[in-house]
Amino acid sequence: MSLHIYDTSTRAIREFVPVEAGRASIYLCGATVQAPPHIGHIRSGVNFDVLRRWLARSGYDVTFCRNVTDIDDKIIRVSAEEGVPWFVVAERNQRAFTWAYDTLGCLPPTVEPRATGHVPEMITLMQRLIERGHAYASEGDVYFDVQSYADRYGSLSNQKVENMRPAADTDDESCKRDPRDFALWKGEKPGEPTWPTPWGPGRPGWHLECSAMATKYLGPAFDIHGGGIDLIFPHHENEIAQSQAAGDGFARYWMHNGMLKIGAEKMSKSLGNSLLIPEMVQKVRPVELRYYLAAPHYRSSIDYSEEALQEAAAAYQRIEGFVTRAAEVIHDVDAHAPLPQAFADALDDDLGTPQALAVVHEVVREGNVALSRGDKEAVARLLAETQNMLDVLGLDPRSPQWRDTGSDLSPVVDALVAVALEQRRAARERKDYTAADAIRDQLSAAGITVEDTPHGPRWELSR
């Protein structure tokens, strides 16, 4: 089976056939950096990181472009509220997003363009649209003429032009030919940053930015465009219109991840339920938070609760426990061991992570049975399968990303624990169980959990 994905534009599952054989190109709408990220923002990053890893594992040379919208109405509004330059707001929050992506194990993008660095490409795109009769300048602004593209506009969101609401992206709609026309360029306003153009100084519109950056790095036609389902209209609809009207093929597949909600509400800062990433990784470890975000199907919505988060953490710990115990028996893991077919089939079926993780847990159950039997051959095979599956999902507890390397005092801690465990062993041998239990209790009070195994005691930092 080859990869099949749900394409929003056709509303159907389609076989993935790339523009260029052996290569896969992905554009993901990244952050608009007016505020630091909550887990709803980072879900998209995790979902498309899994897609990228699976494409790479399937043999594709992947180019992954994730943009940064660093100039926008919201950024300008926050800048005014805080009394700081717009670029201070953008830079501060971009760093927060980068930290969050890194903390949750997302691979760095191949390229991460900023909107403000691509104004020349935006000017060129606007010129092409004006020459083709699909855009017009008006009082320093430039607008896309929706009626000039009415026969195709609305195809992604499955709407008809006559039923669409006004774009509402300018203070004065009178400068538009049609209220549904959307701004490609916004003319100069007092206190706002500007860039020079043939139509006067101003700043880019949000939709124009992504079209210019996507085609700059991935070409006029590329494979996959991704983002949250809330971006389908108007953002992605407008990207398609302006890009294809200019003569570009643009994205062949459109993938959209579901929203993360609390109860019936979409997560938002205005509701006071933003759940920022630094706060979340105090509740669970980063790898457990990644598991929580990756486990549901990417197109499903997630209804956040503390209970669900802790259940996900416990589920990951069961996987981690097997990997840790098995690695004490098997020291060399076959990194090239084949993946279970059911796992590969699950991911090839529209990136079915719930079914893929079900396979992981089944292999872990078999692995625990093999450990209890002392079947080292089976343990070696099942550990290799487990770690290879987890590597695809970005969840391997033995990868450098997640391995707890401790602090600069870790050698001292290792030595002290080793001495304590030797004293405990000696106490047990002389049947002084009170002393042995006391040593174990002292270690527990110090945050160290001791587990007796058939291969001797093992310890780890308490969770």
What domains, with CATH codes, occur in the chain? Answer: 4-257 (3.40.50.620), 299-393 (1.20.120.640), 410-461 (no CATH)
Q: What is the pLDDT of residue 411?
A: 62
Q: What is the pLDDT of residue 407?
A: 42
Give just the sign of the alpha carbon dihedral 202, 208, 210, 212: negative
- For residues 129 and 68, is the Cβ–Cβ distance under 8 A? no
Q: What is the pLDDT of residue 186?
A: 96
Q: What is the pLDDT of residue 273?
A: 55
Pair of tokens at residue 134: 């699909």
**Residue 12 burial (10 A CB sphere; 0-12, 13-18, 19+):** exposed
Q: What is the pLDDT of residue 431?
A: 83
Q: What is the pLDDT of residue 449?
A: 80
Q: What is the pLDDT of residue 463?
A: 61
* 0.85 exceeded by pTM: yes
- Fill in the amino acid letter for 13: I
Q: What is the pLDDT of residue 403?
A: 76
Nearest to 13 by CA among 223, 278, 196, 254: 254
Q: What is the pLDDT of residue 447?
A: 75
DSSP letters for 235-252? IIHHHHHHHHHTT--EEE
- For residues 305 and 264, is the Cβ–Cβ distance under 8 A? no
Q: What is the pLDDT of residue 408?
A: 44
Q: What is the pLDDT of residue 335?
A: 81
- Cα(274)–Cα(141) distance, integer angstroms: 34
Q: Please name the residues in contact with 459: beta carbons below 8 A apart, sequence gap of 6 or more.
A: 417, 421, 443, 448, 449, 450, 451
- Cα(273)–Cα(266) distance, integer angstroms: 9
pLDDT digits (tens), the chain, 463 positions:
799 999 999 999 999 999 999 999 999 999 999 999 999 999 999 999 999 999 999 999 999 999 999 999 999 999 999 999 999 999 999 999 999 999 999 999 999 999 999 999 999 999 999 999 999 999 999 999 999 999 999 999 999 999 999 998 988 888 999 999 999 999 999 989 999 999 999 999 999 999 999 999 999 999 999 999 999 999 999 999 999 999 999 999 999 999 998 876 655 555 445 689 999 999 999 999 999 999 999 999 999 999 999 999 999 999 999 999 999 999 888 888 899 999 999 999 999 999 999 999 999 999 999 999 999 999 999 999 999 999 999 999 999 989 754 444 556 666 767 777 777 878 788 887 787 788 778 777 777 887 776 666 766 666 6
